[in-house]
Every structure is written in structure tokens, then in C-alpha cells.
Amino acid sequence: MSPELLSTPVVDTAKTPADRAHSRARAARRRKAVVTAARVLLLVAVLGLWELLARTQTIDPFNFSMPSKIWDQIATWVTHGTALGSLGEQIWFTLYEALLGWLVGVLAGVVLGIALGRITFLADILGPYIKVLNSIPRIVLAPIFVIWFGLGPASKVASAVVLVFFPVFFNAFQGAREVDRNLVANARILGASDRRVTLQVVIPSATSWIFTSLHVSFGFALIGAIVGEYIGATKGIGLLVAQSQGTFNAAGVYAAMVILAVVALVAEGLLTFAERRIFRWKPSGSDS
Amino acid sequence: MSADTSPAIELRGASKTFRTPSGGLHTAVRELDLTIGRGEFVAVVGPTGCGKSTTLTLVSGLEEPTQGEVLVAGEPVRGVGDKVGFVFQQDATFPWRTVLSNVMAGPRFRGVPKAEAKRKAREWLARVGLAAFEDRYPHQLSGGQRKRVALAATFVNDPQILLMDEPFSALDVQTRALMSDELLELWEGTGASVVFVTHDLEESIALADKVVVMTAGPATVKHVFDIDLPRPRKVESVRLEPRFIEIYREIWESLGEEVRITRERGAAHVA
């Protein structure tokens, strides 16, 4: 790209500005195409190498499987369904648990985070306990939840909630604490009550903090649901992984991973879309 | 009734002491006595960091005095009252609200019905020349336009007392002169009492009926000067008048000394 840019002033002295803008746009398009091509090439190379190494028995195909087998596995699941029922049902089950856990965790995190951020007395009392709870590796709670709530969705929702709650809580708390004091003073001068200050100043200014945590936390919700299913369930992608592992079907484990990645990416895309709608008031330069 | 004859603002021996993060005590203002009449435009000048802004927060009710009394319209100040408007030094427009919604915020917070709040907000936006910008967000405006939004949002509440904390200090020189003229125009229709804090002596003389010179911190009133320049004034032309220059010299003699003290203290801190 840089050689073209360097050469343009010399070559284009006779050209009109419109021409120059045109050629610059073309260069930008070309660059984009090159980047995309390189990306695809990289993917093909990695998958091709994997396939090749597995087929030539350089790596053990039984343990490591190969892309073509993974693809076959996904195709079989899609067309003939899994051992647990149709693939869509498994995805929906996991997604349902993750979404429910995410919503509950986010709601609890935001409400408690804002409340503690606004009410210092409450923060002083609960602060140390929250720190202690946060220091527990919460994934170990998943087996306990299976014991408490059984094999149904409740135990997975619970493990998703505990994973989601803390990052959201800490961000909402921080967001409520870092509200511009000028804005609060201004709102009070303009006549806002404490409740109005919380609802119309603190919460809107904390939203950018909260949204940062929403991206991370949806991933956590999926982890919570999957781990819960892996430990004990009747349906879901996590169970699919566990079963594939139990039958030494490496391709099945990988296939489930691919499906999960797609689900997570779609969810992330929806979240970004929502964020753009909500943050119309922000200067567009900041989200680069 | 005493409320009708009493001055707009009265500070009686007001002091304010803050606790610093390191645990020490910092006195921002001490034994401040100041009376501001109804409809008066008073400018407060003083060296940087002397406690001018603290005086405003005491009058506004955002802070309470550690000692002494603050009265607004004869009544002791308890919390933020509904008579007061405050224009801040930094941007205090709500970035997630449109221009119109920002100006509506005050009346809405005070329980004015939506339709009426909108009507009043539009009226004030037109007066500050931003009628065409009501759907914009603050980040889409220039600094001067944002300040106009802040003015409209303050005036829409019909404040009897208008507190301004170096409101135009972040603007460039031309915009600042323009905004000063606009402020005078807006104010002349309202009959509000104004306390305008600034470190710019020229600005204070051009705007005010009285200029209060504060001492180096902890601040207290050093001297009050009456400005007998006729109104209506135009900021750009008034400062070329001989009388203006005379007044300027007179006040600077008093203020310059405090500025020097502050500067020497600063130098001592650095050394």
C-alpha cells in the first residue's frame, strides 16, 4: 500500500482531485480484498495441514481426529440428529440455560452494583463478603448445583448465574462510583431527587461500563451452562461433549466446539448491534 | 414580609473546611461576609484556587458551611433549593440526552408536565440560537454551543439566583466575548441576581455591577468595587472606554497583591 501512496503525487500531478479520491478508494478496496484472501488462506492452510498430518498418521487420527471427520459429524448431527435427539433441540437447550442464567446474573449484578455504588453504607457492609465470594473459583460450584437442583436446567442456570454475576457486578459498581460529579451536581441543582439522580444520571453513565462486562459475561454464561451439562444433564451441547468423550469420539467433541463457537459469535454480534443502538449519543470515534 | 425586602444572598461569617485525602484540614473560605442585592450582577475575582468556587457551592446548597450562615432570600440555605441555577466550569450537559431533552431536564425534574417542559425548552433554545439543533447530542456540538445549551437549561428553570463558576473559561477568546454579551442579554430580561466567579478581571468588570476581590486562600472578601459603567454594555467595546481602564487599574492594585502572594506560596511549595 505504501509504495502506491508514495508514487501517486508524482504520477497524479495532472489528475483532478476526484481522480485521486477514486484511486485512493480503489487502493483501499484492494487492500481489504488482500486481507480477506490472506485470512481465508490461513484457515485453509491450518485445516489442510491438520487433515494432511492426520491422514498420513503423523498425528494420531483417533485422538486428534481431522477436519473432514468433524465436518461429517456435524453433517450427521444436522441430518440424522444426535443420540440425544435433534441437534437444534440440544443447541436450544444450552442456549436457553445460558440466556436465562445470563439475564438473571446481569440483572442481579446491575441492581446490586448500582445499589452498592450509590449507598456507601451498604458497600461498607457487603464489600468484604463479595470479595471473598469472588475469590472462590466458582466453577467448582457446578457439581454442588447439580446435587441441589438435579439434572434439569435449574442447576445449569445457577452455575451460569454465579459466573455472570461478578464481572457485571464489579463493572456496574465501578460505573456507579465513577459518575462525573459535575453531572450529579448539575442534576441536583436542576431539581432532581436522589431517585432521579440514580435513574437518570448514574444508570445512563454506568451503561458503558456495564456493556463492557456484558460481552465477557455472555461467554461466561455459556461456560456455566456447558460445564453444568457436562457434569450431569439430560440434554444439551455439554452432554453431547461428555457423550462423545465417553465413546472416544474425538470428532464429536470438536464438532460440539465448533457449534458452540458459532452460537457464541452470533450472540456477540447481536449484543454489538444492541450496543450501537443504545450508544447513539456517543461520539463514534471512541469505538474503534 | 421580610422575604421581600431581604437581600438575595447573604453570607454571614461563613467558613468551609474540607478534610483532605491525607487526613489534614483545608480551609477553603473563612469568615466570609457578603451581601448581594436582588437583581444585582456580582463578579467574584481572586487568585487561582483561593476558594471562589467553594463560595458558590455554599450558596447553592451543594455544600454546607462549617461555620456561619448562608441565607438566600432571607432564608437559611438547607440543601439545594429551587431558586438557584448553576452554570459549571466544565461541561455538565448530559451526553446521553439530546439538546432538547437536556434543556427539558430541569422542568421535568421539578415535575412540570412534559408538553409544557418541551414548550419552555424550545423557547429558550430559540433564545440562545440553537432551535435548529434540538435533536443533536452534545458531542455533536462545539464548546460554545454546549455552553449555550447549559445556559438554556439553567434559565429555563427561572432561577432567582444564578451562580456561574468560570463558565466561559474553556472557550476561545472570541466565543467568550460573544457568550458574555449573550449572557447579559438573557439576564437583563430575568431580574435574577448573579454571582459570577472568574479569574479574568476584564470579564468581571465588563459584566458586573460590583466586583468582589477575594484574598489569597483561605478566601475572604478583601474589597468590593462598584462598577459604574452604563448598561446595556457590549463587552468588546466597553473595555476600550477610559473609565473601564481606570477601574481596571484600581481593582488590579488590590487583586495583584493577592495574586503575588499566591504565586510566592506556589513557588515556596515547588522549592
> Is A182 in the B-facing interface, judged by CB distances under 8 Å?
yes
| Same domain (yes/no): A49, A76 | no
Nearest CA in chain A to B92: A183
| Same domain (yes/no): A30, A146 | no
> CB-CB: which of A185, A186, A204 is closest to B96?
A204
Establish if B115 belongs to a structural domain.
no
Report how far residue B201's alpha carbon sits from residue B43's, in angstroms, rounded to the nearest whole number.
Answer: 9
> CB-CB: which of B88, B98, B139 is closest to A282?
B139
- Report CB contact under 8 Å: A182, B157: no
pLDDT at A234: 84
Establish if B131 belongs to a structural domain.
no
| Same domain (yes/no): A243, A188 | yes
| Same domain (yes/no): A101, A43 | no
Establish if B104 belongs to a structural domain.
no
Report how far residue A230's alpha carbon sits from residue A224's, in angstroms, rounded to the nearest whole number.
Answer: 10
| Same domain (yes/no): A167, A267 | yes
Establish if B150 belongs to a structural domain.
no
Report whether pLDDT(B162) > 90.
Answer: yes
Q: Give the closest-approach CA distance of A201 to chain B in angstroms.
A: 8
DSSP B215: P
Total domains present in chain A: 2
Q: Single out the residue in A59, A89, A107 at which a domain terminates.
A: A59
Establish if A65 belongs to a structural domain.
no
SS3 state of residue B150: helix
| Same domain (yes/no): A35, A148 | no
Q: Single out the residue in A59, A82, A98 at which a domain terminates.
A: A59
Establish if A64 belongs to a structural domain.
no
| Same domain (yes/no): A140, A215 | yes
| Same domain (yes/no): A105, A139 | yes
CATH number at residue B223: 3.40.50.300
Residue to substitute from B60, B77, B102, B109, interface A, most A β-carbons within 10 A: B109
Q: What are phi and psi of A15, to 5 degrees?
A: -75, 160
Establish if B143 belongs to a structural domain.
no
Sign of the CA dihedral running B49, B51, B53, B54: positive
CA quadruple A86, A88, A94, A97: dihedral, nearest 10: -110
Establish if A192 belongs to a structural domain.
yes
CATH number at residue A197: 1.10.3720.10
Residue A91: domain span: 70-286
At residue B2 the predicted structure's pLDDT band, cuts being 50, 70 and 90, is very low
Residue keyed to cell 460554545: B144
Q: Single out the residue in A16, A32, A59 at which a domain terminates.
A: A59
CA distances from B83 to B3, B58, B124, B186 (A): 13, 14, 18, 17
pTM: 0.77
Establish if B39 belongs to a structural domain.
yes
Establish if B99 belongs to a structural domain.
no
> Is A286 in the B-facing interface, judged by CB distances under 8 Å?
no
Q: Give the closest-approach CA distance of A99 to chain B in angstroms.
A: 28
| Same domain (yes/no): A82, A194 | yes
| Same domain (yes/no): A86, A187 | yes
Residues 6+ apart with CB under 8 A from A140: none
Q: What are phi and psi of B41, to 5 degrees?
A: -110, 110
ipTM value: 0.86
What is the rounded average pLDDT of the residues B1-6? 60
Predicted confidence (pLDDT) per residue in B218-258, tens digit: 888 888 999 988 888 888 889 889 999 999 999 999 998 88
Predicted confidence (pLDDT) per residue in B135-145, tens digit: 999 999 988 89
| Same domain (yes/no): A154, A245 | yes
| Same domain (yes/no): A190, A253 | yes
pLDDT at A236: 87
Residue B35: domain span: 2-83+159-270
Mean pLDDT by 10 residues, chain A (288 residues): 47 66 90 94 94 88 86 87 82 90 94 91 91 87 89 91 92 90 91 90 89 86 90 86 87 88 88 83 57
Total domains present in chain B: 1
pLDDT at B250: 92
Q: Are B212 and B195 in contact (CB under 8 A)?
A: no
- Report CB contact under 8 Å: B96, A183: no
Name chain B contacts of A196, Cβ cutoff 8 Å: 109
